[in-house]
Amino acid sequence: DADVTQTPRNRITKTGKRIMLECSQTKGHDRMYWYRQDPGLGLRLIYYSFDVKDINKGEISDGYSVSRQAQAKFSLSLESAIPNQTALYFCATSDSFGERDGYTFGSGTRLTVV
Amino acid sequence: GENVEQHPSTLSVQEGDSAVIKCTYSDSASNYFPWYKQELGKRPQLIIDIRSNVGEKKDQRIAVTLNKTAKHFSLHITETQPEDSAVYFCAAKKQAGTALIFGKGTTLSVSS
């Protein structure tokens, strides 16, 4: 299922480096989301966007920024990576209400900050 | 904002038994409650959802119940099978203008 594609799939970076995680979709969905998954903490919302000109902070936006370059592209940046940002990052998309077919998740980016 | 609590964090059952996972939410304006299943190494996928205008919904061996007054909802899996082993996440949101807030997940293990 290549409807939501995340790159890279895995990344190891050093503390203090800037890193960008990219997400693109062919679902034609308006809404896009970034979540991080940590063991025992579930999926936590970082940022979400309902259209190209709309960006909203989620539960844990500190230390992250996003860019919605086009309807199909939503990137997540870590301005200065720190070890506690080591996690599995998921991009997701949905239709206008996010309820007809649920969220479609990408395959995830496993980020390690050393 | 919304806060979703999920229990238990781990659940082990024998094949054929039933499994129940419970979630509570804090925002009384929330009206959409989906459940996602994440198999090992895979992405989360929607398995069932319920809206606040109904109290129960079934899909084969899976059912979800909602108690709006108590602000809790539950996932029921009957006749569990080894392939039901996965992490299950509940979530909640208002109809418009917000994103899903997820619980911390329940790791279900079904042994044969």
**8 A C-beta contact, residue A98 and residue A31:** yes
| B17 compared with A102, residue with greater pLDDT | B17
- Give residue A4's pLDDT band: very low, low, confident or very high (50, 70, 90): very high
Is B112's Cβ below 8 Å from some Cβ in A?
Answer: no
CB contact under 8 A, A59 and B44: no
How many alpha carbons lie under 13 Å from residue A17 in its C-beta half-sphere? 14
CB contact under 8 A, A42 and B6: yes
Residue A2 DSSP symbol: -
| A98 compared with B91, residue with greater pLDDT | B91
- Give residue A1's pLDDT band: very low, low, confident or very high (50, 70, 90): low
The CA distance from A50 to A98, in Å, is 10
Q: List, for residues B79-93, the tens digit of each pLDDT value.
A: 999 999 999 999 999
- Quote the distance between the C-alpha of residue B74 and its chain's center: 6
- Give residue A101's pLDDT band: very low, low, confident or very high (50, 70, 90): confident
| Averaged pLDDT score across all residues of chain B | 95
Would the pLDDT of A94 be above 70?
Answer: yes
Give the mutation candidate from A95, A103, A104, A110 for the B interface (greatest B CB count, under 10 A): A103
- Give residue A2's pLDDT band: very low, low, confident or very high (50, 70, 90): low
Per-residue model confidence (pLDDT) at position B95:
67
Q: List, for residues B50-74, the tens digit of each pLDDT value.
A: 988 889 999 999 999 999 999 999 9
Residue A101 DSSP symbol: S
CB contact under 8 A, A45 and B95: no
Is A39's Cβ below 8 Å from some Cβ in B?
Answer: no
Per-residue model confidence (pLDDT) at position A108:
98
Is B46's Cβ below 8 Å from some Cβ in A?
Answer: yes
CB contact under 8 A, A59 and B101: yes
Q: List, for residues A28-82, the tens digit of each pLDDT value.
A: 999 999 999 999 999 999 999 999 999 999 999 999 999 999 999 999 999 999 9
DSSP assignment of A48-69 equals EEEETTEEEE-TT-TTEEEEEE
Residues of B in contact with A45 (CB under 8 A): 99-102
Would the pLDDT of A99 be above 90?
Answer: no
